Amino acid sequence: MAEIGRRHLLAGLAALGAGACSRIGESESATSIFDSAESWHREAQRALAGRQRLAPEFEPSDISLTFRGNGSLTVDTADYRAELSKGFPNWRLTVTGLVDKPLSLSLEALRALPQRKQITRHDCVEGWSAIGEWTGVPLSSLLDAALVRPEANFIVFRCADTLYGRRYYESVDMIDAYHPQTIVAHQLNGENLPEKNGAPLRMRIERQLGYKHAKYLTGIEAVASLDNVGEGKGGFWEDVADYQWYAGI
Ligand SMILES: Nc1nc2c(c(=O)[nH]1)N[C@H]1C(S)=C(S)[C@@H](COP(=O)(O)O)O[C@H]1N2
Ligand SMILES: [Mo]
């Protein structure tokens, strides 16, 4: 796994609300500043270790008989229907923003990269869960290939669908972006993604709730701040209904 830079670590911790930077600003003796820096570091390590933990993985016999669709169940455009009927020959996933080497990848190119398979449980805030086996490319390998710049603090996921007249999008910090179970999935239970589950590509962000797992994925964008993305809260549901941006489970 790619090493997470110090800036990324700090951004992730800031997002978590961890850290005691303000304490360091107060007037204290050199010793107590040193002590608080020490304990900040210890807290930081603990928080980070927690964030890097793997989500539980299950056995093939645990897989749900049906994996329901939720939110958008298709992309309501003629382009999408044409692509769907042909197996998405022209679909592209772009990797842009704060990267030295922007990418535009076909499904074929994505399928040729090293893959990860994981049987995980999806939990939706609406109160349902389903277990499925996802196959896809670790996001970390795409970020590495695109040479993400150190000033990137967040990864934004752009989607093709609109819900209530708005384009769906989501975002994560660099800790989740480089988490080994964060994958760009193109298969569910050994088959190409069904239309309702986000064909041809969707994110799996296994340590967070369902709404973070962007479906109908078209773009991955590295940014320094979320302020100018959507309405600034980092995701569709965050913008429209004040859902938590960090939806850890
Ligand atoms: N592009 C897009 N991604 C999305 C949604 C959506 O409406 N559009 N809904 C989210 C929600 S709330 C959930 S629970 C999951 C549902 O995934 P599923 O349709 O595979 O069950 O997708 C998430 N990702
Ligand atoms: Mo959801």
Is residue 178 in some structural domain?
yes
Which ligand approaches the C-alpha of residue 70 most closely?
1
Ligand 1 close to Cβ of residue 158 (< 6 A): no
Q: Which of 134, 186, 215, 236 maximizes ligand 1 atoms within 8 Å of its Cβ, making it the mutation to test the pocket? A: 215
- Per the DSSP assignment, residues forming a β-bridge with 183 are 138, 204
Ligand 1 close to Cβ of residue 157 (< 6 A): no
Give me the residues near ligand 2 (ion), CB cutoff below 5 Å.
124, 210-211
Domains in the chain, number: 1
Whether this prediction's pTM lies above 0.75 is answered by yes
Q: What is the CATH number of the domain that holds 221?
A: 3.90.420.10
Is residue 247 in some structural domain?
no
Using one digit for the tens of pLDDT, what is the confidence trace for 34-60? 567 777 778 888 888 889 999 999 999
Using one digit for the tens of pLDDT, what is the confidence trace for 209-221? 999 999 999 999 9
Is residue 105 in some structural domain?
yes
The per-residue pLDDT for 2 is: 40
Using one digit for the tens of pLDDT, what is the confidence trace for 28-37? 455 565 567 7
**Predicted confidence (pLDDT) at residue 161 exceeds the cutoff of 60:** yes
- How far is the centre of ligand 2, averaged over its atoms, from the C-alpha of 211 (Å)? 5
Is residue 28 in some structural domain?
yes
- Residue nearest (by alpha carbon) to ligand 1 atom 2: 215
- In the predicted model, what is the mean pLDDT of the chain? 90
Is residue 248 in some structural domain?
no
Range of the domain at 96: 3-241
- Residue nearest (by alpha carbon) to ligand 1 atom 1: 215
Is residue 212 in some structural domain?
yes
Three-state SS for 133-188 is: EEEEEEHHHHHHHCCECCCCCEEEEEEEEEECCEEEEEEEEHHHHCCCCCEEEEEE
- How far is the centre of ligand 1, averaged over its atoms, from the C-alpha of 73 (Å)? 8
Is residue 249 in some structural domain?
no
The residue written with tokens 């109160």 in the block is: 127
pLDDT > 90: percent of the chain: 80
Using one digit for the tens of pLDDT, what is the confidence trace for 78-117? 999 999 999 999 999 999 999 999 999 999 999 999 999 9
Question: How far is it, in rounded angstroms, from Cα 216 to Cα 243?
Answer: 21
**Predicted confidence (pLDDT) at residue 196 exceeds the cutoff of 70:** yes
Is residue 41 in some structural domain?
yes
**Predicted confidence (pLDDT) at residue 23 exceeds the cutoff of 80:** no
